[in-house]
Amino acid sequence: MRSHFVAGIAAGLILSGCGPSEDTMSEEPAEPAADEAVVNVYSSRHYDTDLRLYDDFTAATGIEVNLIEAGADELIERIQSEGEFSPADLLITVDAGRLWRAEQAGIFAAIDSELLESRIPAHLRHPDGLWYGLSTRARVIFYNKAAGMPEPLATYADLADPAHRGKLCIRSSGNIYNISLLASIISRYGAEGAGQWATAVTENFARPPQSNDTGQIRAVASGECGIAVANTYYVARLAASEDAEERAVADAVGVIFPDQEQSGTHVNVSGAGIVKTAPNRDNAIRFLEYLTSDQAQRYFADGNHEYPAVATVDGSPELEALGDFRADTLNAAELGIHQAEAIRVFDRSGWP
């Protein structure tokens, strides 16, 4: 039976017991004992289908999954503050930029797994085995079908074309998805070229950046915006909804996979790495390998409409309906490497 704990930074000891009292603060903390039938997972993913995935792992292996949920930055800070006595075995998070933050915090330990290397393409895993991608999402362009596709609109570079002045809706520069997109542009074209692009894109805004990716898609469907940028799983969620109004929003927009004649469409990952102080390292590796199985990959595909990282597993019907595309094979680790520069470029460009 999986134990589920919702994390809070101010919580006491993580899996059991209470925090130290003032009388015991000077005592050496006891190192957490390894339990051969448990794996302690810290995750910033908050999807019910993930919980069913964990239960299936326990049913198949007898290894109980203790789950801590919180935001990625909170979990990284928590593991750092727990230090060598952290009970965390595995960190799961969304976006290569956040995986990079965990890497920079010194949280991950490299692992060597022939299974993981055979299942996960090289561009969706850290070059040194510090983390592995589990699922992907593409960052694409949306347009209003009834209004017709504006031209030119085949590449990310086209978003900066003056033909789209006053038409573009997109999230703020602080959004991790946009930071990773710009990081990929920096990797390909350098900071100067990325800065020119970002500055020109801001001149095409239909409104100041606001809302989430679903909000951008809704704005295109309503005609408030001519085009928008968002991740694929948001429109697939709308298309799969039991709410007729949400399905109508998905039906009203068309999808363009950018850069099909260039480097390919930008994709990002959800991924996981083994914590370097993991008390249940073998179980954590076994669990991470399980997450790349066909069964687990189907959970990612059907539960949250993400593209499976394993190429032989199909996406959900709603994702497959968007069509085939060629993904950029830039190693996802590059998105983290250029994250700080991307933030500086955004700031210089005036992108709110």
* Tens-digit pLDDT profile for residues 233-274: 999 999 999 999 999 999 999 999 999 999 999 999 999 999
- pLDDT above 90 coverage of the chain, percent: 87
Query: Angle 187-319-221 (CA atoms, 0-180°, nearest 5)?
Result: 90
Q: Retrieve residue 91's tokens.
A: 């960190």
Q: Note whether 253 and 329 are within 8 A (CB).
A: no
Mean pLDDT of the chain: 91
Query: Which residue carries 């930055």 as its tokens?
Result: 73
Is 283's pLDDT higher than 50? Answer: yes
Q: Going by C-beta distance under 8 Å and a sequence separation of 6 or more, which residues neighbour residue 306?
A: 135, 136, 137, 233, 270, 300, 315
Q: Would you say the CATH fold of 137-266+325-349 matches that of 3-135+269-315?
A: yes
User: Residue 130: how many CA atoms within 13 Å on its side-chain side?
Assistant: 17
Q: Note whether 351 and 196 are within 8 A (CB).
A: no
Reply yes or no on domain 3-135+269-315 having CATH 3.90.1560.10.
no
**How far is residue 17 from each of residues 1, 69, 83, measured CA to CA in Å?**
19, 18, 18
Q: What is the mean pLDDT of residues 282-298?
A: 97
Q: Residue 98 is inside which H or E element, if any?
A: helix 96-104
CA–CA gap between residue 261 and residue 160 (Å, rounded): 18
Q: Provide DSSP, 154-216.
A: SSSGGGGSGGGTTTEE---TT-HHHHHHHHHHHHHHHHHHHHHHHHHHHTTBSSSS-S-HHHH
**How far is residue 238 from each of residues 136, 216, 225, 233, measured CA to CA in Å?**
18, 13, 18, 9
CA–CA gap between residue 77 and residue 253 (Å, rounded): 40
Residue type, 318: E
Burial class (CB in 10 A: 0-12, 13-18, 19+), 335: buried
CA–CA gap between residue 249 and residue 243 (Å, rounded): 10
Q: What is the mean pLDDT of residues 162-186?
A: 98
**How far is residue 265 from each of residues 31, 157, 299, measured CA to CA in Å?**
46, 12, 24
Of the pLDDT bands very low, low, confident and very high (cuts 50, 70, 90), residue 5 is very low
| Per-residue pLDDT at 336 | 95
Of the pLDDT bands very low, low, confident and very high (cuts 50, 70, 90), residue 17 is very low
Task: Domain ranges for the chain, please list them.
Answer: 3-135+269-315, 137-266+325-349
Q: What is the mean pLDDT of residues 142-149?
A: 97
Chain-centroid distance of CA 116 in Å reads 19
Residue type, 324: D
Q: Note whether 277 and 86 are within 8 A (CB).
A: yes
Burial 203-226 (b: 16+ CB within 10 A, else e): ebbbeebeeebbbbbbbbbeeebb
- CATH class, domain 137-266+325-349, is alpha beta
Is 1's pLDDT higher than 50? Answer: no
